[in-house]
Amino acid sequence: MKNILVIGAAGQIGSELVPELRRRGYMTVAAGSGRTPLTAALSEGGPTAVVNLLDADGLRRTVEHYAIDTIFNMAAILSAVGESKPMTAWDIGVNGVIGLLELARDKNLSVFTPSSIGVFGPETPHDPTPQDTVCRPRTMYGITKVAGELLSDYYRAKYGVDARSVRYPGLISYVTPPGGGTTDYAVDIYWKAVEHGRYASPLAEGTRLPMMFMADALRAAIELMEADASRLRHFNSFNVGAMSFAPEDVAASIRRRMPGFELTYEVNPLLQGIAESWPDALDDTTAREEWDWKPEYDLDAMTDVMLEAISERLGGKSGHSSQA
């Protein structure tokens, strides 16, 4: 892994993955679709390109121009948005992945396309969800992620393509706004805490879901792609865990620093239904055994970083304040 292309570099994960790869010394091309401008940090920190995942010829030209050997494909339509745009979700999550795997087959590329806890459904054991288990999702997003896992394993078995992935839980970051996922509340709650001192959760009390701080999510992607292939048996896709919590758990963590924070509930039936079909927690023993996965952040450590960073971004409001 030397010359890397990150597709979807303007998104929630890609916008932080590119700087981390560059910090580690990898030549990294930040590729956006053109619809969302790349940040100045991405544009000024290294090469950039306009890449549409569904434009096979344009993608090939970019790969050849920069002598790319590894692609991180972070393009996706997330769970809630995917329910309103199912065919767009299918195009990006299935047709785009097939095209990418075909290019990887031809150009001998390594490919990372993240999967998600969205692959699981009501029939899946929920606490904890095993590595190898039932994957019968009830959303188009989840269906595309199951297809992506199977396609990646198919191209590895049949053509020798080095395709790898992790099943991300809900991801939490203060850098880029989330893009329409069921777990977005776990980002929004921190912003509302600092801005207003209160939050109305779209998920009901007791709705426990697996989550991960973005710094750990970036490490998981990079460390899996750096891992010795001879140690791996599960290439697509690894459960990766960090923490599990419900809205009231986040509120309790916030109140350590903001005792006056108020949590109420305005449950969104669509999001609640999706959340109830997903795991409470993930069994990530396989990732720990095959490539030494280990998260660094728990809920309180993440909360401390989120409140401080958001306070700075909002002009100095203090995450230590009992009022906001």
Dist CA 1 CA 107 (whole Å): 14
Assigned token pair, 271: 């999001």
Select which of 66, 141, 159, 297 is catalytic: 141
Residue among 82, 197, 199, 191 nearest 142 (CA): 82
**Cα 137–141–147 angle (5° rounding)?**
70
Partner residues linked to 70 by β-bridges: 4, 110
Q: Can you list the alpha helix ranges (DSSP code H) found in 72-184?
A: 79-84, 86-90, 96-107, 140-159
Tell the burial category of 229 from Cβ atoms under 10 Å away from its Cβ (0-12, 13-18, 19+): exposed
Rg (CA), the chain: 19
Burial 86-102 (b: 16+ CB within 10 A, else e): beebbebbbebbebbbe
- Cβ contact 170:211 at 8 Å: yes
**Pairing state of beta strands 110-112 and 27-32?**
unpaired
141 is catalytic: yes
Report the SS3 class of residue 175: coil
Active site residues: 141
